[in-house]
């Protein structure tokens, strides 16, 4: 059985483990104040072309989201996000636990638009009883989204302009950022992203690291005392160098983007093979996650060889199935899967 | 100008003020442990036919909702409510501030159904990744709802059976309970309500008191240490007897229901006059709030004599307008308004 | 039996009830936006000689403390207070429920000193691991304190200078402010207080109102969106005018101070009678609460006529007993108590 | 320069890295549901002689404390701990952020006694106004303590009996547990600990792992939905197997205890050398942390070769200095340090 159900099934890129091995008995200061974290921060700031950024290395995605949002908002402020956004779904109410409402916006393919954000803001700002409403203050988007879609550079710019015009922070969750930046159809760079939001994170856990997410804070108001608020949420790793070493490794020599590119190309290859044979998709995705509709028989057949993710039962009896490649996916397994498609 | 825009524009029923005057210089223990609170609690338990109930007298509605919900739930648990429910709208994120997600359910007329609750629970309970979701544990409904609609006894029973079958608490917000129980079309009593939920509150602020909401806790698990959790949220009034005196007065001689009945009949009279003259309604309401569609000219005309509540601008240029009667609304004003309708 | 155990045993000053009666059937806007609240706010700003102040009228003391502190602090920030401070004791962990640590400072008579505050700040600010500590950001003091003591104007000024020098907010809880400002030995005015802190509240519940506390916000940074944060904590009264009417009444014609003065003089008279007959005190108090040491027999004897507050059992078998006067205490009862003293 | 300032300066025991390398490209399920986590859980339950325990593997200490405490307590409940306890000091107010008060108890050497716990409980339980206090519900102790001291088996048993008698949970923070269990003077086993508390954790980060803390939940009431509450706090690692592999390695063949023993013996050797030469200690410690008093000159001299932890400046001008060994400390460095002592 081979897993194509998620992008956190393997350990990490071999170069990382090599480096962890090489540095294992070195002694360093804890809590992210070591030279490896310094190196990682410099590499990230360079990739972002934002020498003014504050970079903080945390362990996981939910942890990062709750820490960033809690640090940014006053008690009555809320975050706007798509219904399908990770903060509104698979985080067990983490944002609410820190005291803040997630205002959910329905969106067919997981992407917010500037128009939706403007409408949500205007609805609030023009309500005569707005003093009685949670105040939208931050917009949360994911690049790529939880459903595989991707913002273009123009869409991102438009969203950020809308946020700035309405005094809203824009926060971009990049848990799978490598798979967006590495996608053939992506028209933005990490630097573009870093110039079109207030804070974002570069996902490591799903993109070749053992674990780790690099929070890049661009707007000065969000920088103050971030480390202490992270500490308060249990988000500071004692042996912080583990994060520094991993990010320093992956950010060098374009490795982060290369891993993303490889996986996305594999996913698109699977997509094209499915499309060629007439399969329909839940939604079109230009990134490493493909969401295809299968009959139970087709699913069962594929499941003899592959672990896939059965996301939902359709009313017509068919299944929504996620097929997910990652930095570690083997080309031979992709080929083998593609070879099975005509016989489904 | 006469206000018909809300049900908290006047002070309180004169009997209450009389009693406050008569007892003003008496000395009593604080925090709800005085004889007047005892009396109020006994009257409420009798009206509910639930001698086993715990009754706690709090000051306001948002305060009551956040205290009850926070006391009932463990950290990861969430409350299910209509999109239009008060806890999801006009409480400035109060529930989230206590750490809990409000899972909103779209519903055309502000009423949840047992089927919707079952669907929401089943969606959660059958999700393979349910460990990563906020756990629905309490259902919040309002009787009458924020949009004037009302649950029948059969609907309430069905909802409560659904809740019990799925181990969910049912909490009924009765901020305007007098206007439901007093409605001619209402087929339930306070005792019916008290036998078909886990906890509810009898609204005072909008139903003839200066302020005050009586929380009736029926399910033993929700009783423990409720007073301390209320204290922790600033919800215990030092001179608790003010609440006791008010509720003891209003619960005697059927006064609470009579006030509700009077206001509801006034509202229905206005409704019928409007309907007779061809006006359309945003939604049908059998209670004290009527939601009518007016042209700007009609609204302006009425606004020369009445303060009404302009709830929303319609896409066709017309207005959604709320007309609200209450325990204090004067018959002569109702008649005068009705007389204006044909000329609009 | 006559109660001298607390200052919230009676209703309110008769003028207030008269005014509530006179205005009962008037219609006003809710949530503190009515003319009576406007009037109260103007009277308070005048008394404070701070036309720039924001005044918000809330219902109770714990509610006020948790709302002010939660509104002022970022997540990692803490409030410094005496071990005996109300926020550290009788609020059931209300401040912590909003997410903030109360850093307790031992102090023999309930008063913090500038030196203690400076020491606490310096300990934090010079700690090499201060990123791992909750950050002191607000100082909480009570005037008078929970143990009856009182800050002099010089002490307050010194504390505020210390706070300003260290970028700390100073918050003064004035739950019993009338009994400090009305004390013969008090050398400060309400205006002095309003020029020597960032935010304070004028206590109503214990000083002649049915309920109500007036939060006076002086520092601009603390004003923004305070009403929404109050709403979020259930601290906004729907019929806000009840607060406006009460504060407008008590702030006129020096009534607030007169009530405080009367009660304090009564308390000092009791104190002197006790002292004359050799009784010892737990602590010296120049305000309306007197803390005397009684033998069980003495306590039992007095308890035949008076409800007193038995605060603690002493290791020598005697009792710490609080005797408390208030705006409503009858002179004849004070005289009667004093007459009993020689026979104890 | 060689670091003896903390126990998280190096990476991890070589066997762990070897195992991470060997399993790196294996595919497993995430979130702790993989075979390595199963193996680790079984080994831990065996070591505890508690097959009924629930074992959860989290990443760090502060994260573990806030998750366990938040999961265990209702909103108004508080945790009792020593003034010097980690939850009261170096966690940036993490417990309060989850809504709970830490009731601090002064204690000279960082250890709570059953008598202190009983006194704190009795003070609460007998207070007539206890409804207005945060309710003590959990006792937090560390084994060994933050100041190096250690509970004997008899002390632990007495504390747990006291907790059980008063319906309090006992939670033991074992961040450095290896250094207690491995101490020559320790008279308890991991199984003893697991039979004398409600929940504890086996510290990995400071005891030979890259990171990781194993929470052992013994009392059924604390087990329900722990994983979801952990998820809500960002405490579930996506690639959970990293924790499983580490704990499975360290729990085998007595490795955890051996590493603790080695470091503790080194620390005691340093202690004895210092004592022999007349040095005084801040407190006596039988574990891997030694707290010695040095003159500035002595400190400077040692600091030419060693990184030590300057904990505090003493009023006599001398320093409190922590010397800390760990699983990775080299014998030759211990010897070299000891050789320097006579010349200080």
Please say if the pLDDT value at position C128 is more than 90: no
Q: What's the mean pLDDT in C93-106?
A: 98
Tens of pLDDT along D187-236? 999 999 999 999 999 999 999 999 999 999 999 999 999 999 999 999 99
Percent of all residues in chain A with a pLDDT value above 70, rounded to a whole number: 100
Distance of alpha carbon D17 from alpha carbon D34, whole angstroms: 18
Distance of alpha carbon A168 from alpha carbon A120, whole angstroms: 11
CB contact under 8 A, B60 and C232: no
Please say if the pLDDT value at position B109 is more than 90: no
Q: Which among C92, C100, C135 has CB closest to D96?
A: C100
Tens of pLDDT along B325-340? 999 999 999 999 999 9
- Shortest CA gap B209–chain D (Å): 27
Tens of pLDDT along A16-28? 999 999 999 999 9
Distance of alpha carbon C222 from alpha carbon C66, whole angstroms: 14
Residues of A in contact with D229 (CB under 8 A): 92
Could you tell me the two tokens for D206? 């400071």
DSSP assignment string, C211-274:
S-EEEEE-SGGGTTTHHHHHHHTT---TTTHHHHHHHHHHTGGGHHHHHHHHHHHHHHHHHHHH
Cα angle for residues A207, A211, A213 (degrees, 5° grid): 75
User: Using omega within 30 degrees of 0 as the cis cutoff, is the peptide bond preceding C126 cis?
Assistant: no
Look at residue B312 in the predicted model and tell me its pLDDT.
87
Beta bridge partners of D169: D138
Look at residue D128 in the predicted model and tell me its pLDDT.
87
Percentage helix, strand, coil, to 5, in chain A?
Answer: 45, 20, 40
- Shortest CA gap D298–chain B (Å): 51
Residues of chain A with pLDDT under 50: none
Percent of all residues in chain B with a pLDDT value above 70, rounded to a whole number: 100
Using a CB–CB cut-off of 8 Å, the residues of D that contact C are: 75-76, 78, 89-93, 95-97, 99-102, 104, 128-129, 131-135, 310
Q: Would you give the DSSP letter of residue C61?
A: H
Look at residue C25 in the predicted model and tell me its pLDDT.
98
- Which residue in chain A is spatially nearest to B105 when comparing CA positions? A104
Look at residue D98 in the predicted model and tell me its pLDDT.
98
Residue C138 — very low, low, confident or very high, per pLDDT cuts 50/70/90?
very high
Beta bridge partners of D306: D2
CB contact under 8 A, D91 and C129: no
Distance of alpha carbon A250 from alpha carbon B244, whole angstroms: 67
Could you tell me the two tokens for B254? 């059927």
Torsion angles phi and psi, residue A80, rounded to 5: -95, 130
Percent of all residues in chain C with a pLDDT value above 70, rounded to a whole number: 100
Exposed/middle/buried for residue B168 (C-beta within 10 Å: 0-12, 13-18, 19+): buried
Residue C30 — very low, low, confident or very high, per pLDDT cuts 50/70/90?
very high
Residue C83 — very low, low, confident or very high, per pLDDT cuts 50/70/90?
very high
Look at residue D109 in the predicted model and tell me its pLDDT.
87
Contact partners, residue D336, CB within 8 Å, separation at least 6 = D305
Please say if the pLDDT value at position B30 is more than 90: yes
- The answer to whether the beta carbons of residues B236 and C202 sit under 8 Å apart is no
Nearest Cα to Cα of residue C200 among C160, C255, C235: C160
Distance of alpha carbon D340 from alpha carbon A71, whole angstroms: 47
Look at residue A312 in the predicted model and tell me its pLDDT.
87
Torsion angles phi and psi, residue D336, rounded to 5: -60, -40
Residues of chain D with pLDDT under 70: none
Helix residue ranges, H only, chain A: 14-23, 35-48, 61-72, 94-97, 114-125, 153-165, 177-181, 190-194, 226-232, 241-250, 255-276, 296-303, 331-340
- Shortest CA gap D278–chain A (Å): 30
Distance of alpha carbon B57 from alpha carbon B69, whole angstroms: 16
Mutate to test the interface with B, among D232, D237, D238 (most CBs of B within 10 A): D232
Mutate to test the interface with B, among A70, A86, A101 (most CBs of B within 10 A): A101
Cα four-point dihedral sign D4, D6, D7, D9? negative
Look at residue B107 in the predicted model and tell me its pLDDT.
93
Distance of alpha carbon B57 from alpha carbon B39, whole angstroms: 12
Residues of A in contact with B99 (CB under 8 A): 93, 96-97, 99
CB contact under 8 A, B21 and C23: no
Mutate to test the interface with C, among A76, A96, A100, A130 (most CBs of C within 10 A): A76
Contact partners, residue A245, CB within 8 Å, separation at least 6 = A16, A19, A20, A23, A36, A40
Mutate to test the interface with D, among C77, C89, C93 (most CBs of D within 10 A): C93
Distance of alpha carbon B190 from alpha carbon B320, whole angstroms: 32
Torsion angles phi and psi, residue A203, rounded to 5: -75, 130
Could you tell me the two tokens for A71? 């640090």
Exposed/middle/buried for residue B331 (C-beta within 10 Å: 0-12, 13-18, 19+): exposed
* Strand pairing class (C102-105; D77-82): unpaired
- The answer to whether the beta carbons of residues A188 and A152 sit under 8 Å apart is yes
Could you tell me the two tokens for A155? 């869409």
Look at residue A272 in the predicted model and tell me its pLDDT.
98
Look at residue C26 in the predicted model and tell me its pLDDT.
98
- The answer to whether the beta carbons of residues C77 and C135 sit under 8 Å apart is yes
Q: Which among A27, A206, A233 has CB closest to D234?
A: A233
Cα four-point dihedral sign A277, A280, A285, A288? negative
- The answer to whether the beta carbons of residues B305 and B294 sit under 8 Å apart is no
Contact partners, residue B307, CB within 8 Å, separation at least 6 = B1, B2, B3, B4, B5, C27
- The answer to whether the beta carbons of residues A114 and A107 sit under 8 Å apart is no
Look at residue B165 in the predicted model and tell me its pLDDT.
98
What are B219-227's contacts with CB under 8 Å, separation 24+? B219/B169, B222/B68, B222/B71, B222/B72, B222/B169, B222/B198, B223/B54, B225/B71, B225/D74, B225/D76, B225/D135, B226/B54, B226/B56, B226/B71, B227/B32, B227/B56, B227/D131
Distance of alpha carbon B82 from alpha carbon B80, whole angstroms: 7
Nearest Cα to Cα of residue C130 among D66, D82, D99, A231: A231
Residues of A in contact with C131 (CB under 8 A): 31, 227-228, 231
Tens of pLDDT along C169-211? 999 999 999 999 999 999 999 999 999 999 999 999 999 999 9
The three-class DSSP label of residue A217 is strand
CB contact under 8 A, B28 and C6: no
Look at residue D207 in the predicted model and tell me its pLDDT.
98
Q: What's the mean pLDDT in C298-314?
A: 95
- Which residue in chain C is spatially nearest to B1 when comparing CA positions? C27
Residue A120 CB-half CA count within 13 A: 27
Distance of alpha carbon C186 from alpha carbon D50, whole angstroms: 65
Q: What's the mean pLDDT in B207-227?
A: 98
Widest pairwise Cα distance in chain A: 63
For chain B, the average pLDDT equals 97
Distance of alpha carbon B107 from alpha carbon C9, whole angstroms: 48
Could you tell me the two tokens for C305? 């006529």
Q: What's the mean pLDDT in B162-184?
A: 98
Please say if the pLDDT value at position C312 is more than 90: no
Q: Which among C104, C128, C133 has CB closest to D92?
A: C133
């Amino acid at each position: 059985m081979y897993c194509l159900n998620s992008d956190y099934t393997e350990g990490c890129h071999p170069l990382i483990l090599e480096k962890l091995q090489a540095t294992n008995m070195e002694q360093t200061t804890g809590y992210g104040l070591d030279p490896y974290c310094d190196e990682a921060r410099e590499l990230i700031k360079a990739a972002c072309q934002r020498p003014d950024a504050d970079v903080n290395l945390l362990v996981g995605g939910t942890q990062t989201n709750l820490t960033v949002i809690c640090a940014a908002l006053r008690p009555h402020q809320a975050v706007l996000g798509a219904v399908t956004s990770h903060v509104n779904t698979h985080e067990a109410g983490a944002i609410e636990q820190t005291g803040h409402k997630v205002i959910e916006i329905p969106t067919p393919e997981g992407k917010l638009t500037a128009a939706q954000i403007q409408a949500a803001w205007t609805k609030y700002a023009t309500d005569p009883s707005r003093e009685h409403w949670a105040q939208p203050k931050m917009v949360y988007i994911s690049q790529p989204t939880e459903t595989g879609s991707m913002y273009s550079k123009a869409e991102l710019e438009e969203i950020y302009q809308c946020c700035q015009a309405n005094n809203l922070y824009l926060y971009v969750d990049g848990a799978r950022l490598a798979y967006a930046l590495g996608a053939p159809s992506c028209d933005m760079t990490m630097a573009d992203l870093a110039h079109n939001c207030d804070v974002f994170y570069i996902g490591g856990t799903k993109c070749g690291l053992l674990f780790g997410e690099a929070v890049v804070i661009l707007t000065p108001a969000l920088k103050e005392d971030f480390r202490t608020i992270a500490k308060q949420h249990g988000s500071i790793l004692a042996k912080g160098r583990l994060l520094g070493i991993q990010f320093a490794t992956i950010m060098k020599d374009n490795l982060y983007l290369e891993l993303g590119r490889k996986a996305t190309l594999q996913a698109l290859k699977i997509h094209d093979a499915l499309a060629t044979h007439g399969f329909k998709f839940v939604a079109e995705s230009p990134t490493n996650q493909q969401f295809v509709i299968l009959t139970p028989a087709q699913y069962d057949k594929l499941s003899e060889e592959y672990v896939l993710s059965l996301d939902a039962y359709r009313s017509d009896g068919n299944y929504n199935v996620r097929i997910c490649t990652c930095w570690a996916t083997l080309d031979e397994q992709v080929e083998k899967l593609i070879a099975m498609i005509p016989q489904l």
